[in-house]
Amino acid sequence: MDYHSPASFAEASALAANATGITRFLAGGTDVLVQLRSELVKPDTLIDIKKINGVHDITRNADGSWTLGVATTGAEMSEHPELGQDWPGVVEAMDLIGSTQVQGRATLTGNLCNGSPAADSVPAMVAAGVTVTVTGPDGTREVAVEDIPTGPGKTSLTKGEVVSAVNIPARGENAGDAYLRFIPRTEMDIAVVGVGVDLRLDGDTIIEARVSLGAVAPTVLLVEDCAKAILGSTLDDATLDALAAAASAACNPIDDKRGTIAFRTEVVGVLAKRAAKIAYARAKGENA
């Protein structure tokens, strides 16, 4: 295996474009090293992007949006004094991944590009409308997070392409997000079900909503029907039931060692309700 630590994304992209065999980018490495060690994936080329300038930066842009460097760790996100005030759902979702130790290394970008349908940060990013900047041999493009994963372990990134920044929209007024996942223990598990909700209110009424589901289909889902179920409502009990039903209906899960089809289909609705209530409270400026 060849190891490279390029100084720019253009260089990283060129290295990847010219590499033969299997190439992996190394950000936090918490997935790549596990795959390497268990010999699930044996890369021929490993490109460490942590020596590129600015990859640990968390920047609030003039328009209120955020740009995160691709090697920004979960711990750095959690410690940031303002990011979590704007996007508690995104920060909490990232924080759920692995242990304190894993938080010291793991990144949003890695979580996304690993392509797992159960990745915790991805539903939260999808709900929040996060995009990533992709640098490739033909320059850069901006891609919505939901368009990156194409199936378990697979992404839409082409040869030579590397994610070079994470872009989180401006929070704006009267809005809140939340992410909840189900795991059998309290920590250290992979999500059996995950739900991200982002919404905006006018008074008590929901006027914008995005709901995403994790670990219930081959990729994270952005579910239009869930958003429709709560739009225009004040999140009364009937609305919550409709949300749960829409979430369950959107599921296309599998039976595996982590959960059953029946369980995932049922619990996705439970979590959708609970996450929506938290997002709603946050949008109202309440502690939740």
Which residues form the interface with another protein (CB under 8 A)? 1-3, 26, 28-30, 33-34, 36-39, 46, 48, 50, 73, 75, 98-102, 104-105, 182, 184-190, 192, 256-260, 262-263, 266-267, 270
Paired residues of 141 in beta bridges: 134
Q: What is the Cα–Cα distance from 103 to 186, expressed in whole angstroms?
A: 16
Residue whose CB is less far from another protein, 4 or 282? 4
Instruction: Indicate the pairing of strand 162-168 with strand 154-155.
Output: unpaired
CB of 126: closest distance to another protein in angstroms? 22
CB of 72: closest distance to another protein in angstroms? 13
CB of 252: closest distance to another protein in angstroms? 17
- Identify the three-state secondary structure at position 3: strand
Instruction: Indicate the pairing of strand 131-136 with strand 139-144.
Output: antiparallel
Residue whose CB is less far from another protein, 9 or 182? 182
Cα–Cα nearest to 257, from 221, 194, 215, 219: 215
CB 125 within 8 A of CB 220: no
CA 245 to chain centre: 23
Q: What is the Cα–Cα distance from 68 to 236, expressed in whole angstroms?
A: 36
Residue whose CB is less far from another protein, 5 or 65? 5
Residue whose CB is less far from another protein, 46 or 216? 46
Q: What is the Cα–Cα distance from 130 to 57, expressed in whole angstroms?
A: 17
CA 246 to chain centre: 21
CB of 192: closest distance to another protein in angstroms? 8
Residue whose CB is less far from another protein, 68 or 283? 68
Q: What is the Cα–Cα distance from 173 to 196, expressed in whole angstroms?
A: 19
CB of 260: closest distance to another protein in angstroms? 5
CB of 200: closest distance to another protein in angstroms? 27
CB of 18: closest distance to another protein in angstroms? 18
Residue whose CB is less far from another protein, 37 or 139? 37
Residue whose CB is less far from another protein, 10 or 102? 102
Cα–Cα nearest to 166, from 65, 26, 32: 65
Residue whose CB is less far from another protein, 30 or 167? 30
CB of 71: closest distance to another protein in angstroms? 11
Long-range contacts formed by 263-268: CB under 8 A, 24+ apart = 263/192, 264/192, 264/193, 264/215, 264/216, 265/216, 267/182, 267/192, 267/193, 268/193, 268/195, 268/213, 268/216
